[in-house]
Structure 1
Amino acid sequence: MSGATGRAIGAILTLAIFSTSAIAQNDLIKIGVLTDMSSLYADNGGQGSVVAAQMAVDDFNRKVLGRSVQVVTGDHQNKADVGSAITRRWLENEGVEAILDVPNSAVALAVQGITRDKKKLFLATGAATSRLTGDECSPTGIHWTYDTYALSQGTTKAISRLGAKTWFFLSADYALGSQLEADSRKVIEATGGKVVGAVKHPVNTPDFSSFLLQAQSSKADVIALADSGGDFINAVKQAGEFGITQQQKLAGLIVFIADIHSLGLQSAQGLMLSSAFYWDLNDETRAWSRRFIEKTGKVPTMIHAGTYGAVMHYLKAVEAAGTLDGPTVSAKMHEMPVNDFMTKNGRIREDGRLVRDMYLFRVKSPEESKYKFDYYKLLATIPGEEAFRPLKEGGCSLVTKP
């Protein structure tokens, strides 16, 4: 065999291998979980969100439209530029059809912009900012689990009804903190309360002493923590060390059960919070949560439960629509009611907001807790129509004008 012939055969074999690989890649439907794998939101989303997404894929028999479904993972490192780069690579080069989680509002807003332009699905199961269904809404963006408006409505209203009149805000200095504080201020003003001070802190702050001393000197009835994850945990711990909680009430505006687990009931007892999910709410939530706990050894957060539900609803919509086209699948998701262990008779509005019931909880004392992860006492169920911002008030350009 001549050298030329050998080279020709080699080229044909290489092309065949490449073609086979390309076909294999095209046979996959990829779902991307873009999350925080190593920093302050890792326990609330992180690997747990990946597990939850995979559980939904497995429960859907791992295929839709005759093609295998694959979950891919990215760590946005809480940086909008990193999250944007991963999103573009996934959508432009790696065939990812839908992106989920994104527990950082600044990153989520960047992802929403890119997916809007690319006409791909963004299912925000971990982000909080209500701008995702307001001025930054998208025809292919669905805000799934909770938002700053709903959290502020539940917690701030409840504490105001207990007689709190003056408030001081300790807020994370990025999109989440700003929006959570803004939404809460409206509730406080509407209930006759007054904000007597506010301070912003950098994300991932190890030392809250100067911020807490400002809050303490304000003598406000309530110190509202408009931050989450590791920042929330550090602020609560240090407030206890300074003795602040003996004189003033702490209000967590975005609290996850993983935060309570890290704090321990001795530190967190009495805290009131709003949530879209609690593992021990009923038989259905317990059954799913036990499966999750078996796989992870950790109690599921509302982000984990929401990620499972969003993936399942997406796959059902793809199957019903018979296509992967982003706008078509999004329209089908809006059309179909959401019913699972977490959400009953949920509906996705034209601004992309999934409307579902929210819950108000009080953290139990160590004496009240009877078994592992027995952390919350249900105080009230807040109907979805009351919990979430009225459709006409968000400023979403997709909302039909009267």
Structure 2
Amino acid sequence: MTIGRRALLGASSLALLSAPRLAAAQPADNLIRLGALTDMSGPYKDVEGPTGTACVQQAVAEFTAQNPGIRVEIVRADHQNRPDIASAIVREWIDRAGVDALVQVGNTAVALAANTVAREKDKVHLNTGALSSVLTGAQCSPNLVHGPLDTWAMGHATATALTKAGGDSWFFVTADYAFGHALQEDASQFVRAAGGKVAGSVRHPFPGTTDFASFLLQAQSSRAKVIALAHSGADLINCMKQTQEFGLTRRGTKVAGLGAFITDVAGMGLPLAQGLVLTESFYWDLNDRTRAFYNRVKPRFERPTVLPNSLHAGAYAATVHYLKAVKEMGVAEAKRSGQRTVERMKAMPTDDDAFGQGMIRQDGQMIVPVHLFQVKTPEESRNPGDVFKVLETVPAEQAFRPLAEGGCPLVRT
């Protein structure tokens, strides 16, 4: 695909504007540069986007306050959900701007494109924005850290619990690209493993679908007990609105938001989202540490009402852990090889206020507990941020795909 000159120049200028000294600055022994690549204007702006970048900024601010001898700069750009633009930005950042590590990088197709460049250039890829389990499977990389959530973990928790609770027939409404396909594939195996069946599925174009009527009519005709929405962001919000218009939930049908986040719930409001079952690995009001993190980072958000999700918190956690590894190795050594830096990250246990204690496996997956949530009714909610009740918590060691089953060539058996 040919990249439009205007699109590339626009992305590049945005990256430079976020760190105006780049043009004159040369890489220094005590300077680390992070490239935050995300959706700043498209369907995943709220799900990942500027809020995730704010969490990266928070991690950097905390680290540099404690380690004033190490400088950290952040550049940022909008990948526009296009792999060709993402690849071009990453190459420019690495070759001309001295970027040492990528962070966020939402959208699976974009993530795979960035992953190729990061491995080729031996830079660190902290992928906290894409969710497909293929990133720690066949497409795993020695330069990649992924998490703190993926399609396997989301499908496992949601599909297993709902099927065992009586939702033994499923119909999937799926975004027609890699993320949606992975959500459906991963969830389907757990539906069957729990004794259920897949009654049917339909794929809708991505991005830009606004009318889900024909897809929901097919779901209704299947008489499935669970309608699984294998998409996120604007697609999920629009589809949920139309499930209500069709009266599907009033007939007793369960709706599973396989790719849903607290940001989607906030976009819909509790009257529409109530009862939705979803999986996340972070909730701001889960415990004292998550509340402390939320209160520190909240002033950086574009709006004071923003509630961060797992992807936002993951950008913070991955940056915290990466910078700990940089400090332990020394800046010069960390800049020399992204692969060796990731090896050091895997050797160190993770510990941060967003997720608590965890680890990074051989395949690059961040391992943390995962929670199955149900959205509260308006009557149950005590304040605008009180949106979830915990149905189940899956321990970290059980939450993600077994290491030997992913097909990652890095795994030593």
TM-score w.r.t. structure 2 length?
A: 0.90
Q: 1:22 to 1:288 in 2, by over 3 A?
A: closer
280, 296, 300: which one aligns with 2:285? 280
Matched residues in 1 for 2:219 and 2:273: separation?
19
Offset from partner CA, 1:288-312 (integer Å, 9 cap, x none): 1122223321111111111111111
Whether the 8 Å CA contact 2:290–2:355 is kept in 1: the answer is: no
User: How far is the alpha carbon of 1:22 from its aligned partner?
Assistant: 4.2
266, 273, 279: which one aligns with 2:271? 266
Q: Write out aligned runs for 1:77-226 (5 A).
A: 77-203=80-206, 204-226=208-230
| Alignment pair present for 1:231 and 2:235 | yes
Offset from partner CA, 1:76-112 (integer Å, 9 cap, x none): 1111111111111111221111111122111111111
Matched residues in 2 for 1:63 and 1:112: separation?
31
Whether the 8 Å CA contact 1:125–1:310 is kept in 2: the answer is: yes
Matched residues in 2 for 1:281 and 1:309: separation?
16
Residue number in structure 2 paired with 1:317? 325
Letter in 1 for 2:300: K
Matched residues in 1 for 2:362 and 2:89: separation?
28
Matched residues in 2 for 1:199 and 1:395: separation?
28
Whether the 8 Å CA contact 1:277–1:302 is kept in 2: the answer is: yes
Whether the 8 Å CA contact 1:124–1:145 is kept in 2: the answer is: no
Offset from partner CA, 1:122-169 (integer Å, 9 cap, x none): 111111000010000000101121000000011111101110111111
Whether the 8 Å CA contact 1:278–1:302 is kept in 2: the answer is: yes
Give SS of 1:339's match.
Answer: strand
| Alignment pair present for 1:250 and 2:262 | no
Q: 1:344 to 1:26 in 2, by over 3 A?
A: closer
Identity %, equivalent residues: 47
User: How far is the alpha carbon of 1:27 from its aligned partner?
Assistant: 6.1
Residue number in structure 2 paired with 1:355? 367
Whether the 8 Å CA contact 2:46–2:263 is kept in 1: the answer is: yes
| Alignment pair present for 1:47 and 2:50 | yes
Matched residues in 1 for 2:407 and 2:363: separation?
9
Matched residues in 1 for 2:276 and 2:26: separation?
54
Letter in 2 for 1:245: T
Q: 1:340 to 1:63 in 2, by over 3 A?
A: closer
Q: In the comparison of the two structures, how many residue pairs are matched?
A: 383
Matched residues in 1 for 2:300 and 2:362: separation?
36
Q: Write out aligned runs for 1:331-342 (5 A).
A: 331-342=343-354
Larger gyration radius, structure 1 or structure 2: 1
User: How far is the alpha carbon of 1:385 from its aligned partner?
Assistant: 1.6
Offset from partner CA, 1:294-333 (integer Å, 9 cap, x none): 3321111111111111111101101111122211211110
Whether the 8 Å CA contact 1:155–1:251 is kept in 2: the answer is: yes
Matched residues in 2 for 1:347 and 1:388: separation?
12
Letter in 2 for 1:251: A
Residue number in structure 2 paired with 1:291? 296
Whether the 8 Å CA contact 1:30–1:72 is kept in 2: the answer is: yes
Matched residues in 1 for 2:293 and 2:241: separation?
31
Whether the 8 Å CA contact 1:361–1:378 is kept in 2: the answer is: yes
Matched residues in 2 for 1:279 and 1:120: separation?
31
User: How far is the alpha carbon of 1:67 from its aligned partner?
Assistant: 4.1
Gaps of 5+ in 2: 1-20
Offset from partner CA, 1:175-216 (integer Å, 9 cap, x none): 001111111111011111111111111113111111111111
Matched residues in 2 for 1:379 and 1:173: separation?
30
Q: 1:111 to 1:23 in 2, by over 3 A?
A: closer
Letter in 1 for 2:292: A
User: How far is the alpha carbon of 1:244 from its aligned partner?
Assistant: 1.8
User: How far is the alpha carbon of 1:344 from its aligned partner?
Assistant: 2.8
Whether the 8 Å CA contact 2:172–2:200 is kept in 1: the answer is: yes
Whether the 8 Å CA contact 1:321–1:328 is kept in 2: the answer is: no
Whether the 8 Å CA contact 2:64–2:70 is kept in 1: the answer is: no
Whether the 8 Å CA contact 2:293–2:354 is kept in 1: the answer is: no
Matched residues in 1 for 2:327 and 2:33: separation?
15
Whether the 8 Å CA contact 1:64–1:318 is kept in 2: the answer is: no
Residue number in structure 2 paired with 1:367? 379
- Cα-Cα RMSD: 1.7
Whether the 8 Å CA contact 1:123–1:141 is kept in 2: the answer is: yes
Matched residues in 2 for 1:288 and 1:65: separation?
21
| Alignment pair present for 1:303 and 2:311 | yes
Gaps of 5+ in 1: 1-17
TM-score w.r.t. structure 1 length?
A: 0.92
Matched residues in 2 for 1:266 and 1:199: separation?
27
Matched residues in 1 for 2:365 and 2:288: separation?
27
Matched residues in 2 for 1:161 and 1:131: separation?
26
User: How far is the alpha carbon of 1:65 from its aligned partner?
Assistant: 9.1
